[in-house]
Structure 1
């Protein structure tokens, strides 16, 4: 095994582990929110949001040195479009991320399956026909939201996510957090998106976060309520974030980065030396 191929395998493992961590924390707090009565979070929704955000932060601290922690196909695509990430790595990264989501859902199911079964029995619903407990694992439109409206929402929210990520990680942005604090700020960004818009359709903003657990649920008894899901919704949390991520990255690269003073100083310095 060459050094390059060994390093690439390490990157894929890291991406898988990163999404795994996010799902273990995030879907578990979704279970705490939705399966218990009284819920510890129904009147304290910020708690759900901050746990998802901290899951992202922890994932970055665990895996960032190996792969850069994309942990999101929308991030990988945007980095390939605008930050020089190798296009040859995009599909393998996506596969590793979805696998991480699948494996994370396995752990959450292991933890909460008795509670899911009790919830279904109490409300006289089942997984296959009623999607009992499905909200623990994957997203769906909230009240008054159609699939097409959710598609637009996901484009907008993921654009905001990538705008923030590009700003936090831009080497020319003197206002970006320094050293290793960027992971915490990105986690807060995820939490802020959830706190401000999570009830629309559970703020997937990440195809792997939704599709990996959804794929697990398809095989774990949810069947058609997971894939293709009511209203054939399954594609929305995939396509919306992929489009939105590119838009958010383009917005930062095209409208803000060219005006960074430190970038212009570097250009002026290079021009002076020519």
Structure 2
């Protein structure tokens, strides 16, 4: 059975590590003794986090990487060297109805949120299997557990991310490879990625704070957990899907889940890169 990966002395790579949840995980891993490799399409943001870690006495490297570019991922992976923990964190969201989203926006969502999982994981998984050590983290979303209005492309991409993790876990178990997989499904995180989002029942479906989520993810990596859903109540949403469709839809209306994006205005000014739930 796959076990957790101790972060002290390990190398952790995080995509979208220049801001948001990715930045918090990079800083937290460095404090726990990891060498951190930051990949981001915002070179300046990635370099700033790298400098922040080094200034505190930690080890870090930053690389400009477009995770949708297979060749760029392979080249950057060769430069990064041995990696023990891969955190697939980079993500984008349009927050638009299917008829309003542009074809380019839909394609980018799928490329960043789905296909990049394959390119990044494949670049490092062989080494993990050979060393019989490592963890692959897939940052999905609560939207990957139940579809949400105004997130048709995003929800579909996150359903695919959850499926990617489950299939990879099954494959590694069948091969008796001692490599763990962890899927992370948070509700909305206060990274600025979902600016204007509101929740109807804030005590049950709160806006999460990125520092707390990052710490929980790092704890889960070390503990060898396979799934992390935040808040825990979100675990119940997929269970509701066994109900008749009409009843399910009504419950989703009562919870207000399908109205959370009504006031979505896009990313907050000055908040770029990274990932949210």
Normalised to the residue count of structure 2, the TM-score between the two structures is 0.30
Higher helix share: 1
> Relative CO higher for 1 or 2, CA cutoff 8 Å, sep ≥ 6?
1
User: Highest Rg: 1 or 2?
Assistant: 1
Higher strand share: 2
Normalised to the residue count of structure 1, the TM-score between the two structures is 0.30
